[in-house]
Amino acid sequence: VVLHNDNFTPMEFVVYVLQEIFHHPLERAERIMMSVHKDGMGIAGVYRLEIAEQKAYDTAEEAKENQYPLKITIEEITQ
């Protein structure tokens, strides 16, 4: 599950969803948020497809409820 940078979603909100939905501790959530901010994207987590879809959906709903345009994608890992 990948989070993408935009110019509107606050960094604090990204940290919040990383903690609440993806269950990352604060320090790790902040590191992922900085990847989103600096690199344009950050990996929120690697999951089986069904779980990834649910976490992406939950994140999108939370962003929508808070009126943030946070973009979330699911990318397949190729080996």
pLDDT at 30: 98
Residue 38, pLDDT > 80, answer yes
Please return the burial class of 21, using the count of CB atoms within 10 Å of its CB with bins 0-12, 13-18 and 19+.
buried
pLDDT higher than 80, residue 64: yes
Q: What is the pLDDT of residue 77?
A: 86
CA 22 to chain centre: 8
Q: Taking 80 as the threshold, does the pLDDT of residue 49 lie above it?
A: yes
**Distance between CA 75 and CA 26 in Å, rounded?**
24
Mean predicted confidence (pLDDT) in 21-48: 97
What pTM did the predictor assign? Answer: 0.94
